[in-house]
A and B are shown apart, each in its own frame.
Chain A
Amino acid sequence: MATSSASQARLAWSLLAAGGAVVAVALGAAHYMEVHGHVVTGMNNQVVWGLPHVFAIFLIVAASGALNVASIGSVFGEKAYKPFAPLSVLLTVALLAGGLMVLVLDLGRPERLVVAATHYNFRSIFAWNMILYNGLFALCAVYLWTLAERRFAAAAKPAGLAAFAWRIILTTGTGSIFGFLVARQAYASGVIAPLFIALSLAWGLAVFQLAQAGFARLSGSAMDAALQARVRRLLGIFLVAALYFVVVHHLTNLYWARQAALERFLLVDGAPYPAVFWLGYVVAGTVVPVALVFHPKLAGPRATNAAAALAVLGALAFLYVFIIGGQAFPLEIFPGYEASSSFGDGRVDRYSPSLPELLLGLGGLAAAFVIALAGARALPILPRDEGPVAPAPKPAA
């Protein structure tokens, strides 16, 4: 037992070091971007948000959804999920921190973060989001405390309810960053807020599944088969729900004559976006994982993990098309005219991401990984610590 514990500790430290190394490389990439300016990225004056935002939005949206399991336990009273609630809350904190790290380090002036904290424009949904992100950190800390400290067990339900409500509002806010862009054909839509909530449920649960499977290997405490089956089905349902909102969004655009060219670009001939959308998001990110979780012959932890991993890849594919494809298509400033200029009017932008951008984005994932792993080692997070089996006997010393 002692050897196994020591080898687990060694493995955990190695993983932490590896994650830390990726974060360090990402910080180096961000420093390079800051010294040379964004000219070393693929971003420009037309595609102003690039690959870092794909990773950042993924992490932030998944963060909100990672609270699923805790909510099902605390808010909806499903006892079976409760042992996994602390891990669910920890993942929310880790993913959110990773996403915000990428978002902040991509700023033109990241050193002015204090300005963002002291100057608020309350008409800006972006400013509201900053409050919502910080509020979620605070609520998660309180919630985690109520879950870990038995004296506060009675407060876990209200704390869980508050965190649940907060993250629904938060993801509405994240979706509305795009939904409120009235001038942008690819975004201006109220359906983006519920779409983001559906996406968050799917992506967050996918990340939770992968994390819980990973920690089970590290700590030797696996989720029981009945609960695993419920998580698996839930993942499938969430993926289908998200696809439904994606379809509604595109159908709405297709119905408007002036959006037809944009939809054609995104779905048919605007390479590489249609391929990334259909193969990356629809097939690999939705159809295959849904088949994996619902096919009776495939039921098993391996299929579930594969489905979750595919859902994460599909998430990145979806956001690549949504964020970058949506900007690459030219703004329609002169309806009824064909426009051209030295500033890219009327022309599709050819964005190609650069290495520093990619490294920064991967650094966000690594930061989330490091925080989750360190948190699980330092705090009573995993079911073994909090589990229903029996309190650990005091060693005789």
Chain B
Amino acid sequence: MNPVDKRRRDFLGQAAVAAGAMIAPGVFLYDYAKAAAPATPPAGPPATSGPVSAKVRWGMLIDTTKCASGCRECVDACNRENGLPGTTRPTDSQWIRKVDLKDLRSGATLSAPVMCQHCAEPPCVDVCPTGASFKRADGIVLVDRHTCIGCRYCMMACPYKARSFVHEPTTGQKTEVPRGKGCVEACTLCVQRVDRGGRPACAESCEAAGHGAILFGDLNDPQSEISKRIRSVATTQLRADLRTDNGVRYQGL
């Protein structure tokens, strides 16, 4: 045999043995895990509503003239409702945040909560490679925690910095709000409440605190309070130049 060929054969043979030794334990573990897994998933709470309909489009109107600077009612309510720790390191999840703004020309100051804007044309949904980021028929933008691979491309694409990446193991999760290390998450518009006919925790707490700066409702229903307000006062969408058609609108900005 040609010495070069012999060298190659020896090398390939040794490489094959090494590869086999590395892969075999994994194959064994995979079979073991499959055998050990329960046959049926544990029963969850019963469905509370029928299929979601495109007849409604959920949205919010935020009146910055009523939003009090320094007030964190909406943020705290969101953290309580969704089982978020409420810490504010750069690696912590913040589904809603209070942004303090100062007009560069007039010097006027104002404050406003910012969360997922639930765009009609969400860039996060466009860029997600696996389709884990998705928009429900009723306009709520969500992340499927089973198909999110944690690539964070949606966070690169979001114009509003609305998404958070779970940087460490989670504790204190709520049954209805699954969270998990290594996945991206954001405001769900409190979908667990909305599907039962309720409204997001932030809107409720803002009203309870006497501000009433966050109005939640159906943008498709011309008789809803939110639709009437949008018809009667000037409102804006953040980064309207991007034409993402946000479900969250701002008044007084």
Contacts and interface: CB of A to CB of B under 8 A. Distances in A.
Q: Is B one of A's binding partners?
A: yes
Interface of A: 5, 9, 34, 36-39, 43-46, 48-49, 107-110, 112-113, 115-116, 119-121, 123-127, 130, 177, 180-184, 327, 331, 333-334, 336-345, 349, 374, 377-379, 385, 392, 394-395
Contacts of B92: 45
B152 A183 contact: no
A377 B6 CA distance: 11
Nearest to A125: B127
B104 A333 contact: no
Contacts of A336: 103-105
A48 B152 contact: yes
B151 A108 contact: yes
A37 B130 contact: no
Q: Label chain B's interface by main secondary structure.
A: loop
Contact of B129 (A116, A331, A338): A116
Measured as residues with beta carbon below 8 angstroms from the partner, the interface class of chain B is 35 or more
Contacts of A127: 129-130
B100 A183 contact: no
Contacts of A120: 129-131
Interface of B: 2-4, 7-8, 11-12, 15, 88-94, 97-105, 114, 123, 125-132, 146-153, 155-161, 163-169, 181-184, 238-239, 242, 253
Given A45-B165, A109-B149, 13 more contacts: A37-B166, A37-B168, A38-B91, A107-B182, A108-B150, A109-B148, A126-B129, A177-B153, A183-B242, A333-B161, A343-B88, A349-B90, A378-B12
B157 to A, nearest CB: 6
Given A45-B90, A378-B12, A395 B123 contact: no
A342 B88 contact: yes
A107 B239 contact: no
A108 B97 contact: no
Contacts of B93: 45
B101 A339 contact: yes
Contact of B149 (A34, A48, A112, A177): A112
Contacts of A339: 99-101
7 contacts: A37-B181, A48-B155, A177-B153, A181-B157, A333-B99, A336-B104, A343-B161
Taking each of A45, A49, A331, A333, which has the highest tally of chain B beta carbons within 10 Å of its own beta carbon?
A45
A9 B8 CA distance: 11
Contacts of B183: 108-109
A71 B7 CA distance: 30
B126 A124 contact: yes
Given A339-B99, A394-B2, A45 B166 contact: no
Given A337-B101, A378-B8, A126 B127 contact: yes
B131 A49 contact: no
Contacts of A36: 168-169
A51 B35 CA distance: 39
Contacts of A125: 127
B166 A108 contact: yes
A46 B152 CA distance: 11
Given A37-B182, A124-B128, A46 B90 contact: yes
A90 to B, nearest CB: 14
Interface pairs A-B: 8 shortest CB-CB: A108-B150, A108-B182, A183-B159, A44-B90, A37-B168, A126-B129, A127-B129, A121-B131
A342 B184 CA distance: 19
Contact of B238 (A5, A39, A119, A334): A334
